[in-house]
Amino acid sequence: MNGDHDVMVPTINSYKLKEEIPNSILHIYPDAGHMSFFQYSQDFSERIDKFLNK
């Protein structure tokens, strides 16, 4: 997960990692920076829970 305005980990790097890691999932949060999980805490928690409980 990444924010589309992340200056510490540019979003393009997240797309590159997604391509290199098999079975990976990428979600980009709109209008969010590096700490997007604070801005989208509920959605972030639900996505993590869903991923871990596959």
Structure tokens at 15: 């797309």
Q: Per the structure, how many domains does the chain have? A: 1
Residue 27's φ and ψ, nearest 5 degrees, are -130, 130
Predicted confidence (pLDDT) per residue in 9-23, tens digit: 999 999 999 999 999
Question: In angstroms, rounded to a whole number, what is the distance separating the alpha carbons of residues 54 and 37?
Answer: 21
Q: Is the pLDDT of residue 2 over 90?
A: yes
% of residues, the chain, pLDDT over 70: 100
The whole domain housing 35 covers 2-52
Average pLDDT over residues 47-51: 94
